[in-house]
Structures are given as C-alpha cells and as structure tokens.
Structure 1
Amino acid sequence: MQFATGKEIGRGGFGIVFETVGSDGNRYAIKYLNPAAFQQQDHAMLVRRFEREVRYQQMVNHPNVVPVIEHSLTANPPWFAMPLAAGSLKDDLEADRTLGGTPKKPLFDILAGLEALHQKGLRHRDLKPANVLKFVQPDGSLLYSISDFGLTTPGVGQTSTLTGSNMAGGTPLYRPPECANNFRRATEQADIYSFGAILHDIFGGGVGRIPHSELTVAGPLKSIVEKCTKANTRRRYRSIAALREELFEVLDNTVIQFFSREEEDVIEILRAKEDLSDEEWDRAFNLIDDNADKGVSNRNIMRTIALSHIESLFKSSPDMFDGLGELYADFAVSESFDFDYCDVISDKADLFFNLGDLSLKAKMALAMLQLGTSHNRWRVERQFMRMVGPDCDPALAERVKMEVIARDIPFARRMRHVEISIDVTADQLHPILHELAAEAV
C-alpha cells in the first residue's frame, strides 16, 4: 500500500508519528524512525531497536494491542503504519481524570492487552496513558489498545542486548523502582506497577507522586494501588488475572440480593478467607446443593469464589475441586454477563482447566466456547482455541467430541462464529475436532 504523509501528530523516544492516507482511502498513523534523536554512534543500535519494536508489535495479535498494518524496515528511515487513533488515555485524563466516573472500559482493555503481551513472554516496560490509544469502533463503542513497543523486551533470562545494563529508559512517574537504573530487571510485575500508577492518576489525581515510590489512594482502590506498586516485586499481584479479579470486585456496582441468611454467612466466609477449613467447604457445598434442590440460583456463590479459593481447594480436596469446577462451568453458561466479567470468568475457567481431570477440561473448554460465542467475546473464544488446539492431548479432543455428541451441542455453528469473530479456521483445532466440525457442516 502507498501512503501520503500528512501532518505530524506526535513524537517521543526515537520516533515521529504522522497522520497519513493509504491508497485504499483510509486514514492511518505512520511512525518513522527519527535518527536525529540520538548521536551518530548510536544510530545502528537505534535502527535495531526500531526493528524490534515492529516485530514485537506484529507478534501480538490482539484487539487491545495496536496492530501493524504495513512496514518497511529497509527504507531510510524505516517506518510502520498502524490504525489512526481518535486520541489516547492521556488525552482523556487531561479532559477528565475521573473518566466520567466510569473507568472500567480503558482499565480492563489495558489489562487484556498486557495479558496478551505476557502470554507471549513479553514485557512492555513503558506503560503510561500516552501509550494507550483510543479507537472508535464502527458501532460507536470505544476500544483502548496498547502501543509504543520501543522498550518491549522478552522475559527475564531472554533479555535483548539492545538495552544496556545501566540504561534506565521508560517514564519515571510510571517506572517501577527495580527498573530505575536497570531495565533488565523488568518482569510482569513491572507492568503491574505501571498499571498501579495509572490507577493513581485516575483515583488519586497523580497528586504528590514521587518516581519509583510505593503509591496509595483514598477509598476502595487503596489496597489495589498499594499492592500494584509495592517496592518488593514479590508482594505485587502475581498475574494480570489476580489483579483483574480484585479490580472487578471493587469497581462492580452490583448489589447482592441474598437468597437466605445461610447464603449471606457463607459468602461472608468466602470473602474473609482464602483457605477454608473442611467444615467451611462442606457448608458451602451443602448450600449449593440445597439451592439446586430448591431451584435457587448459585450465582452469588459462584461470583464470590476467587482464584485463591480454587487453588486452595485443589490442594486440600481434589475430588471437591472437580465438583466445584463442573458447577462453575455450568454457571459460565447460565446467564448473560458484561464483557469485563466474561474475562474474570475465563480466568477462573483457565485455572480449573489447567488443574482439572480430563472430564473437567472437556466441560470447561466447551463452556468457554459457549460463553465466547454467546457474548461475542474475542478473548474467551481465543481461550477455547488454545484449550483444544492442534497440540492438545488426543484424549481430551476425544472427550470433547464425546460431550458434543452426547449433549447435542451445535459445535459446527459455534465454530463458524469463532472463525468469523477472531479470524481463525477450524483446521487450527485438534484434528479430531476439526473433523467433527467438518462432519457437522
């Protein structure tokens, strides 16, 4: 594609970004390397880093990561084109740091993009509002995506030699203390610190922030901001999933209507403790069974079950763990959820899938297929494809096939939805399931 370069719309680090129109008539942003930003002796390093930015960004195919439309790394200067954003999170915060009192959309989009990076073994290392771009979708909805991969690096133990051991890089107000002088120390928790700094922007106004420090805010986000920005990386959230779970619970405005005093008591126990005693788990399961007998929904209990509860139950009682997993799979397809909560469900489903037996893995994979297609949630559909991809255990593929046939699941119809939704093909399933999808057409 040919591009007609227009006005400059931004610069920073070692690149200059212009608005451009492609030969297809659509508007794009085109980023050129800016050699003038560095001394002559650093030009070779600069070119390699720019090439790295493009290649890393291309590797992550996710709606919350800005895609590379086209590039030329052999041009002088090299460049790449990406969709033209309507603005950035920085612009939104400057207009209204509370984001109209509804910050869930950008925050959960950022977490989804970070998770996609981390699943590839990458760390962004320069997450800040200016690097979170805003796009207006055809239906008028907003999508926030992470951009500017100039400081992205593989995980610890894979670090590129392009960043010298004494080069800090990044933006001080969003940079974790362990990376103040040495970016080789960046882990997933470095990005989690930066996310905590963004929370501090929104809920604390960024007031009184000292670079590389532990942060706090008043109100319900206090514990989350503090945990994100702990100086000791081991005290931060261990994963995006764990952070997303707690953030959703704080930002969710749902008021629980308890069905009984016993349910209220059990939920209070679940909220207060990560490790329940055998007696407390028995009480929870008795309530679940009693609700089922009475035709009462168990959604309040399922929403309160945390990742830590799942891990704890697996260690203490594997049999009860499998039973809870099957109940959770049923819950995942029992009603409608908003997009953010679909991601929370899928995090827990992933844990059940990874730790569960063959039967639970099959049931959870099919639950993610139904949840993803019924809610048009790309992240969940991708999760299903990972669970039953070509390298999955043949025994699992056979078990999924058995469940599809026995339960008369419209597998081919749902797979056609997945193919269109996330641009995959049925041959990216395990061959047994690819054959099943083909047979049903």
Structure 2
Amino acid sequence: MKAVVLCGGKGTRLGLTDRPKAMVPVAGRPLLERLVEDVRDAGFTDIVLLTGHLAEVIEAHFGDGSAFGVRIEHVREAEPLGTAGAVRDARHLLTGPFLVLYGDTLLDVDLARMAAFHAEHGGLGTLFVHPNDHPHDSDLLVADTDHRIRRFLPKPHPDGAMLPNLVSAALYVLDPAAIDAVPADGASDWGRDIFPAIVAAGERLNAYRSVEYVKDIGTPARLAKGEADLASGRVARLSHRHAKPALFLDRDGVLNVEINGVHRAQDLHLMPDAGDAVRMANAAGVPVICVTNQPDIAKGFLTEETLGEVMAALDTGLAASGAYLDDTFVCPHHPERGWPGEVAALKIDCDCRKPKPGLLLAAADRHHLDLSRSWLIGDRHADIAAAHAAGARAVLLETGHAGNDAGNRRADPDHVAATLTDAVAFVLKALAE
C-alpha cells in the first residue's frame, strides 16, 4: 500500500517564507520528515509527496527517499488543486488502496491497523475520526454502530442544535475508485466536496475511531501545543502501540440526571459538574469512555437512532464546557421478556450488560487499554462489579442510584465520592502516583 502526503500548503499563518508548511520545524525537525518516518515505521515504504508551493525545498530534502529507507515519488501541482484535486492528478501512481496524510498534522497512529480495518470493512474509504473540544465550529459526521458514515454536518451549525461530537482528523485510507468522485478539472476538497457526495450516492465510507494523537499544527498556538505534547510524552502515550489507562464513566446518574430512562434528546440534562469533571480528564490526556446499559432499546422504548440523538445531546452539553467523550460503548440488551413492542433479537443474556465486563473488554480491545490501571466511576454496584470483573478499579458515586442495587454487590468499591468532580480528581491523583 502506498502513502500519499499532501504537502502543498504555504504556512502563511505560521509566518513561513522560505519553506512550505509541511517543512515547519517541530521540536527541531521538519514535520514532513516525522511523517515520512511514521509511514516507514508502519511498514509503508512507497510514498507519494504531492507538492506545490516551494516544492523544490521538499524535493531537495527528500530526493528519491533512499536516505530515509523509503521510495519517494514527487508530483508537483502547477496551481492549487485542493486536497482531492491533487490526489486526482496522481491517480496514475495509485493502483490499489492508499493512505492519505496531510502534511500539517502531527500524529502517532498505528497506520497498519487502520489499513487492516479498511480491508475488513470495505467501501471507498476509511476516515480516522475523533471528538474535539470545539465541535460547534467544526465539520461533523454521523456514523452508525457498523462504523458506516451516514451523514456529514458541515459548519456553521444552527443555534441550539444537538450534534454528535465526531470529526474527521484528515487521515484516510482510500480505494482508487474514490477518485472517480473527484471532478475531472479544477480544485476540490475531500472533506467539503467529495466525501459528502460519496455518502449521498449511497457508497460506503467507514469511521475509524481512535484515541490516538492526530492534530494539525497550522497556527503558532497549535504548533506550540504539539511541541508541548511531544515533550510531555502525550503523543506517544496515546499510541495504539502502548497499553494505557482509561477513565470509564457510567452515563445515567453520573454524567446526566437519572430519570429512569432518557428516551428523548430534550430530556437529557447534565449533572451540574459533568462538563468540568470530564474536561479535567481530557486535559490530563486520559481517554474518557462512556460504558452504559440501555435496556430500553430491547424493551422497545427507544431505537438505536433515538439513542444516537440522546448521545448527541450529551456531546453538546459536554462541549459547552470544552469537554468530550473519547468513545462510547452501549449494551442494548435485556434478558427478560414481557414488554409490548420489545425487540426479540435483543432479549438475550449477553456478555456486555453490566455487571458483566463486556463493555470494558470491548473498549480495551479497540483502544489497547491497560485495564489494571483503569478506573470506572458509576452510581450502581453493577458498575463496580463490571469494573472488578474486567480487572479495573472503581469509584461509587453518591449521586443517581447511589448504590441502591444491593443485589449486584460483589465487593466494596475502591473509593466512594460525593460528586463526579471529586471522583475524577481522586482517579487522576491515583494515576499520577
């Protein structure tokens, strides 16, 4: 598989005059050099550099790539063609699925794993997706439980809209057939023009959700943040190469007010300290993952689509405080029958319904988590039991159900806290020790 790197940017906001944006120094080394080595270390040694502004600087630095242990081909655009137009003009070099990286991103991603995910799920492309702390001014997308992207939601967004916090990180695996959707002439952009058209045409694009580090460094502030994250070890720590601790959060009674089932987005109300508490964990670089039983899906009280709307309301509420969930794992099952309108296929004794550990185990598999160093915060003994069964530790909150499910009590929690803020502070201190 070849890797294509878009390197045509000028770097005007970075104040660059003698080099293109992709050659900006990051902690003393050109960013593009870091990207080339990232690609090589993932096992991809055929690289196509799509250049434009000051292309000669890149060509002189990398040559044919032999000095870096790779084979590099250069394709120079005569005029700005946009991210998709530039790839279109290199199509003669792209005969199989290929990676697309943007030359202004700092990343540490298991690219081989992402490529394998694309091979498993098929379609015209796979997009690396994650939440951010400013979804209100970001282009967003909606993906289903089969990882298929269903809609793109371009900015600006309507006031008061409840939107899922999921954005494309400008890292793709594409099939050559995706280039067929690119106009034959002129400039066009993958995110703005081509991907929405592909989905509208009924073709499959996949969402590859990961906690790994992918950030653009196109402004002085973002560049400084990226360098700080490199120096602190945050970039490498979040990589799929390394097992990492996570903070698991139950939903009802922990993040939002417990009302015995939230069946409509407008009925979800955040706990007063939820945004600030989650933001604390985000700032510490600890993945925050919601694990929630939602048996009302099996009972027929809401659909998975409606649950998506409820979760979008949760995302929107957290985003108001600059906070986000890195991922969410849901059990839709219920073992007992007898509800009118119930979904028979979901009426099973599953492995994911807490107090069983299935949700935590699935999250650990997806994100390479070290469960022995991870914590769960919940308001029921079922949460505590699920954490312990997975090998994690747990905090019982005195909110929501406040541990009133004595029948699920298997062992005492590792800590008891009055509020989510207190619980998160306790966990972060424990992780730092």
Question: Into which bin does the TM-score normalised by the smaller protein fall?
Answer: under 0.3
- Looking at secondary structure, tell me which structure has more helix per residue: 1
The answer to which structure, 1 or 2, has the higher relative contact order (CA under 8 A, 6+ apart) is 2
Q: What TM-score do the two structures reach when normalised by structure 2?
A: 0.27
- Looking at secondary structure, tell me which structure has more strand per residue: 2
